[in-house]
Structure 1
């Protein structure tokens, strides 16, 4: 009888096991060079990520070859077929054997040539990468050649089209230029092939890329269509101007609202030519066509700065169209920083962005004298007047079916509304108007709100804005941009304010999409007012005190508060000396304070004004003594950058809304619950909560300021940094709740 075989259970995967000292240690792995085929496929995966990247390389090669006509044919989003035909100078037959080998190029000879490169391509890796992950064929003819030559490539080498045939290029009939055909892209990389969701999505990316180069490449015609279609997705003639090209690609709506400006700056070595939309045009997303030295690139810093510049001219939720062509001295640009050449680095980025944004602001300001609005009456009675008179608008050209055109029959347009999925429905929409905005603010019974409005009077001056050229301030702005968190910035810029949860802990609820968040609005306001201080540096408004406030008395109040908080340790500090030292420091720096921060202090030590960061909101003046006292030990007055940073941080902390006590839980008075017995008016007694009238008034004013001033301002211009992640928490997700309900 055979004994049963005992099989020891294997340890679970990922379980940590103790080492056995009796077992021999495994030999160290030897370092070996990767096979050349593996190296080439790794390089191909970095350069050709999607069909659109392969087409980008082919378009740039065609333009470098002096082509004036490009015809592009696409099948299955470029995965099945990607063909580009140009009329450039072609490729010599002698160069065809090494055409698809890595690092073979006619545009670069020495590394030093990178500092003056003026072509799109330079590394010689595009065709080599494509040949390793697709079936590649090239048909080319030069002007001097009597016929065209066709060659097929695989893994960077010439191959025969059919088994048993020679791999040498074959002579065929053809026109001057080059035709490159890419078939079965990623056929030998199945994981990459399966990553593409739909052919239509890839085709849309291809049309976007072709449209960018069609706008920029003057004198070159572009045509792009699907395989088997009679019409073209994009067709741009060679003779069209930039405005005509934008009209062909992006439509007449944006082309008729364009403004052109040019900027030259010898100091930073730039030459800028731009076509931007004016304030009459806005769309759901920003369209930025950015070219640096004629190379299509992306830059989040430029895009964010342009959007912030437009935020003062467009309605909420509106975005511009911007075509920006920057010519920068080649020695200031590093083009060899990204495998697909999607990004470049250049010197003095902040200064160049400031120059471009200033010119955008000036150009929009010069043309922003009238605006056109498309209106439609929703009232059945046309005699009912508008509740609010509208400003005169620029008359637009009548369209077909307009009221002024009564020559032909008119048919009402048919609108088909697509019902969204239930798991995407939200209770509120950030783009929808809230019902509270239709109600007039109701003043309080005691008239405190009216008294406050009468006390606060605004005066406007003709002072020209000061352009900040301080390197320290620009560095601080750059630090904010570098710390930006894209997802959180999108949530804040599209949120819907729900309400204040706790004034003591300074927590509010907001909705972003189908998610609900709790936000520490104290932390949010601190970052917002700090960024306002950086962007409006040396251009603040002023809160003026009439009569001026004695600086010494304010510091004395702050010192008394510090003494009470210090307890037994208060006797170790000469508080009178502290107050005098801070007062002397502020009087000594008063020239800088009034110039950069609009904080005016007289020679006698009187506080005349404070900086005004946002209109419609005044910080709690109860925090003013503590703010002035902290300006002494907590501001680095010796170093420029640290001085500005620490002062603006203290100013932002002063502007943060105060923390109010929670509502009292104990009942102070009682009232009859009329709803329990409406006939007799008698019923169960119901306790109501009363609080101090002064605190109640401050609470109401604070809630109005947070909902109608601070959060809308944060929505318009706040750059949410990574540090704010600690102050926001997700508490509900509609899609997650639906999954829970489905399981139930």
Structure 2
């Protein structure tokens, strides 16, 4: 009997395909595919409306942009129940012609775009003609408009993208009414036919706050437009901006005087990237709990995670921990470089050279902050009357006055007791390891071999005399896909923890020049760094980032390639004999092959690497990667010899990768003999063990490591996972040392 009973399926359960098709034969063909059908136009329009109009503030954004495009100089906004019940905007623009009202709310009807190619030069806010169409499918829309040459205003009602009568039984045609020039758009009962979306909104006050934020953004940016916004039934306005108000005054009225009083204006432009940036930013005296960025690209309010992170990193050195800035940024980019049609709500756009443009803007903001960072304001709190400061580090404790008891006397809370295990060295000039070594005698040299000048009771380093010539050469923009892929590979291999250590480290000193070891401090930890491997990573990354824009080290007179390669071949032959190798190599043939290879590719080497070779086989120049440090010329013959077998000349990416790695190996500081000790041992070492050239090279390497290379690591080294394996070693932790001492 149960098989003969009709049992209703649970609500929401899927029906079989044959049930949908009305098949009553009782057979279920599970293997048959479901038929593809075109959606009903009403469903299509509602789906599109849900993508474009996601909340009342997005609907208002579209209406504001349309009003500004119409040449309005005053906008009045009226809101009820957070825009869900009523959203009305009135402008004084050019109005809408009566003949255009029948198709006003149809999809893809616009006066700003005629063919697809027009997207490449679009300079208006809107262009698709979907805003009003989408609103009309999810709300009751009324438009009242009057043009300058019209005798009266015209009012039209819309439902589902088409004209609809104001009341049942009436004609849907527009009706003449009294009105002022411009357009008034009234949106009522937003999402009335999308109950799921309407129930998702938490409260009317939250939606009204979003509307105020959206109006405030455009009120700051649109300098020639007056704005007013208020709730229906209230006499006071939430926002009231006059058309002649300056940008600073607009920020003052919307975001408060504490922000406006600390604003600095900035501007920058670059024809290479085709952009111009202007804006306002708070200085170092102001900080807030959350970053506020008003970003406009070609006058559209957009969002960009990349811009936000870059600006926050720019402000990090200037603001206290937990502080965030306020920035208004307007970017005007060549429309041909911008793709505006990547997001339904136009909230995001894509444009060329994004990283370069963002970096240029942040550099400008950083220079402005540094220029005004001569005076800082800090909040202080005075002691309460009768209070006494309790200093645990002082030998004298706070003593109550005579006649008062310790319990009744007023005391301010004592400062927390200092924990020496958490102290971090903050001044890199206080003391270094080299100052603890015994001084060398007889030569007047410092322990590390650097030149010093005595005066006023202390020693100061004498900077090395390196002369550089600046040439007027345009910066080459690298658009090679192979180089970009190599840069991406470095970023993907980044070890974030190690990169942070190098970015915040303090240089302590050089430990061993033969094994190329140096000590750095990060926080309360001491690390031993293989600066040879660190330098290799840094020079390789410099080769990628400065590709095609290297400096030049010229040889005068030029060096003969064959002679240099012959020197390297002799060294290789001698080394092979010392290791007992029996294989004989025809180095004369190898030298000739490498020379022909370099001469044949001399144009590419000169263009990309500033590595210049004459047609006759003379080495004219090699690339200069960093100012203040000269590569070890003693390694030049070996570097040239390795360019033959170690560089893959058959593939573009492999060629660039292997050549830059060989160049980085050449630039790595060479291993130097150990430093002789003080006293008689130093004199004996200087006489027989260490020649003048080695001493001069040690001076140069030590000075470059401390003042050029390690500061460069701090600024731009991306530490990779390979550097983590054997390139750095933690040797001390202040907290751990204190625990050991406490046991004693």
Q: TM-score, normalised by structure 1?
A: 0.58
2:264 corresponds to which residue?
257
2:297 corresponds to which residue?
291
The correspondence of residues 732-743 of structure 1 with structure 2, limited to 5 A, is none
**1:374 aligned to which of 371, 376, 380:** 376
Instruction: Sort the Cα spacing of 1:377 and 1:37 in 2 relative to 1 into closer, same or farther, 3 A.
Output: closer
1:394 corresponds to which residue?
none
- Contact kept? 1:275, 1:322, Cα under 8 Å: yes
2:714 corresponds to which residue?
712
Deviates most, 146-155 or 634-643: 634-643
* TM-aligned CA deviation for residue 712 of structure 1: 3.4
Q: Output the CA distance in 1 between the equivalents of 2:490 and 2:294.
A: 20
Q: Output the CA distance in 2 between the equivalents of 1:218 and 1:118.
A: 17
Q: Output the CA distance in 2 between the equivalents of 1:726 and 1:95.
A: 70
Instruction: Sort the Cα spacing of 1:638 and 1:27 in 2 relative to 1 into closer, same or farther, 3 A.
Output: closer
Q: Output the CA distance in 2 between the equivalents of 1:297 and 1:575.
A: 63
**1:532 aligned to which of 524, 539, 542:** 542
The correspondence of residues 691-702 of structure 1 with structure 2, limited to 5 A, is none
Q: How many equivalent pairs are there?
A: 592
Residue ranges of structure 1 left out of the alignment (5+ in a row): 6-12, 14-21, 382-426, 428-432, 513-519, 660-699, 728-744
- Structure 1 position 436 matched with structure 2 position 440: no
What secondary structure, in the 3-state scheme, does the structure 1 residue paired with 2:158 have? strand
Q: Output the CA distance in 1 between the equivalents of 2:360 and 2:31.
A: 65
1:470 corresponds to which residue?
476
- Contact kept? 1:558, 1:625, Cα under 8 Å: no
**1:274 aligned to which of 266, 278, 282:** 278
- Structure 1 position 451 matched with structure 2 position 461: no
Instruction: Sort the Cα spacing of 1:290 and 1:563 in 2 relative to 1 into closer, same or farther, 3 A.
Output: farther
Instruction: Sort the Cα spacing of 1:447 and 1:307 in 2 relative to 1 into closer, same or farther, 3 A.
Output: farther
- Contact kept? 2:612, 2:621, Cα under 8 Å: yes
- Contact kept? 1:70, 1:85, Cα under 8 Å: yes
Instruction: Sort the Cα spacing of 1:194 and 1:435 in 2 relative to 1 into closer, same or farther, 3 A.
Output: farther
Over the aligned positions, Cα root-mean-square deviation in angstroms equals 6.6
Q: Output the CA distance in 2 between the equivalents of 1:282 and 1:475.
A: 42
* TM-aligned CA deviation for residue 442 of structure 1: 3.8
1:647 corresponds to which residue?
659
2:138 corresponds to which residue?
133
Q: Highest Rg: 1 or 2?
A: 2
Q: Output the CA distance in 2 between the equivalents of 1:287 and 1:558.
A: 61
1:43 corresponds to which residue?
48
What secondary structure, in the 3-state scheme, does the structure 2 residue paired with 1:470 have? coil
Deviates most, 580-589 or 180-189: 580-589
- Contact kept? 2:263, 2:280, Cα under 8 Å: no
2:510 corresponds to which residue?
none
Alpha-carbon displacement from aligned partner over 1:103-127 (angstroms, at most 9, x marks no partner): 2223344556555544322321111
**1:106 aligned to which of 111, 119, 128:** 111
The correspondence of residues 17-36 of structure 1 with structure 2, limited to 5 A, is 26-36=31-41
Q: Output the CA distance in 1 between the equivalents of 2:618 and 2:127.
A: 66
* TM-aligned CA deviation for residue 289 of structure 1: 3.2
Instruction: Sort the Cα spacing of 1:593 and 1:437 in 2 relative to 1 into closer, same or farther, 3 A.
Output: farther
- Contact kept? 2:152, 2:176, Cα under 8 Å: yes
**2:124 aligned to which of 119, 123, 130:** 119
Instruction: Sort the Cα spacing of 1:362 and 1:127 in 2 relative to 1 into closer, same or farther, 3 A.
Output: closer
1:91 corresponds to which residue?
96
What secondary structure, in the 3-state scheme, does the structure 2 residue paired with 1:222 have? strand
* TM-aligned CA deviation for residue 186 of structure 1: 3.7
* TM-aligned CA deviation for residue 220 of structure 1: 1.5
Residue ranges of structure 2 left out of the alignment (5+ in a row): 6-12, 14-26, 384-418, 440-445, 452-460, 507-514, 524-529, 672-701, 727-744
2:244 corresponds to which residue?
239
Q: Output the CA distance in 1 between the equivalents of 2:545 and 2:480.
A: 9
Deviates most, 318-327 or 207-216: 318-327
- Contact kept? 1:287, 1:322, Cα under 8 Å: yes
Q: Output the CA distance in 2 between the equivalents of 1:77 and 1:460.
A: 67
* TM-aligned CA deviation for residue 182 of structure 1: 2.9
Instruction: Sort the Cα spacing of 1:199 and 1:379 in 2 relative to 1 into closer, same or farther, 3 A.
Output: closer
